[in-house]
Every structure is written in C-alpha cells, then in structure tokens.
Amino acid sequence: MKIAIYPGTFDPITNGHLDILERALRLFDKVIITIARNPSKNPLFTEVERLAMIREALQTYKGVEVDAFDGLLVEYARKKGATAVVRGLRAISDFEYELQMALMNRRLNDDLVTVFLMPNEKYTYLNSSIVREIARHHGDVRDFVPPSVLERLHEKIRHASPT
C-alpha cells in the first residue's frame, strides 16, 4: 500500500489544496492530510476548527486520513509508514522554499520522496492568507474555498469585527 503525507497549515483549507489532494489520490492508495502544529504561526482558526473544516470538505473522498502532528515531518512519515510527501507547486516563488524543505527532508530520511504536484492554473495565485484577507474585508471568496469553510469564515469574521 502506497501512503503519502500531505502536510500544511490549512488555515483554512482551500480549493487549491483540494485540487492537489485529488491529484495525489490518483497516485497513492492512501493520502494522510495532516496539520503541522507550528508554534511560530498564529492561525485564524484553531486546530480543532481546521480539522473539522478538512473533514467536512472531504466527506465524499475515499482513501484519505485527516490528522495533525508535532515534531519533524520525516519522523511523522516514518511512524505512519508513508513513503512520500506531497506538496503543491503553484509558482516559481514557491520553488526555493520547497526545494530547501525537500532537500533537508531527504537529508534527514533518504527513503522519503517529495512529490510536487501543480494545481489547476485557476488556483496558482491562491493561498490561505489571501483568502483570509479578502474575507476579512467582506469580499467574495466563494470560488476559492469549500462551502463548509465559507460558512466558518463568515462566522469568524462576524465575531472578530465589532459592528
């Protein structure tokens, strides 16, 4: 059984992430989409909320596990029996950071292969910060996130902005 890890912050999960996940599912028997707990990030959504949004968005998907982890990705992958890490490459600007991570992960565990997948071009300019920013200013993000995320985003923004 070929298992891949799809790690990220997912604050929140977007249609771009789902696009990458769907492509990964064509290559692997199982994909573990997992939230990396990163103390240096200050996410808008709690881990519990992010996990719930991922689960809601993936209700009809087969072969996916949803999880969160602490520590090194290579150790987590080893524990899970995964042989690959999936990352999305949207633009040249992603490349340097991704190359550094992939090479360092390879240095830490040469058995773990990083696989880069390109999302549909309509998602190449998308990231979670830009979605949060548009939503904060009451812009329309319907085309960029799954419906469950849209609802929670609106709710979060309503509670954050005193009117």
Applying CB under 6 A, the residues found at the interface with ligand COA are 7-9, 11, 14, 16-17, 20, 36, 38, 72-73, 88, 90, 101, 104-105, 119, 123, 126-129
Q: Which of 41, 62, 107, 137 is catalytic?
A: 41
My answer on whether omega of the bond before 43 falls inside 30° of 0, hence cis, is: no
Rank residues 40 and 163 by Cβ distance to ligand COA and give the closer one: 40
- The least distance separating ligand COA from the CB of residue 163, rounded to whole angstroms, comes to 26
Rank residues 7 and 146 by Cβ distance to ligand COA and give the closer one: 7
Rank residues 52 and 127 by Cβ distance to ligand COA and give the closer one: 127
Output the CA torsion 96→21→50→106 (10° steps).
Answer: -40
- Give residue number: closest CB to ligand COA: 16
Which residues, listed in sequence order, are joined to residue 87 by a DSSP beta bridge? Answer: 116
Burial 133-144 (b: 16+ CB within 10 A, else e): eebeeeeebeeb
Q: Which of 50, 90, 132, 152 is catalytic?
A: 90
Is 148 tagged catalytic?
no
Is 17 tagged catalytic?
yes
Rank residues 85 and 162 by Cβ distance to ligand COA and give the closer one: 85
Is 122 tagged catalytic?
no
Q: Which of 30, 50, 87, 128 is catalytic?
A: 128
- The least distance separating ligand COA from the CB of residue 11, rounded to whole angstroms, comes to 5
**Exposed (0-12), middle (13-18) or buried (19+): which is 22, by Cβ within 10 Å?**
middle
d(CA 69, CA 78): 12
Q: For the sheet with 113-117, list strands across it.
A: 64-69, 30-36, 3-8, 84-88, 113-117
Is 93 tagged catalytic?
no
The residues annotated with a catalytic role in the active site are: 17, 41, 90, 128
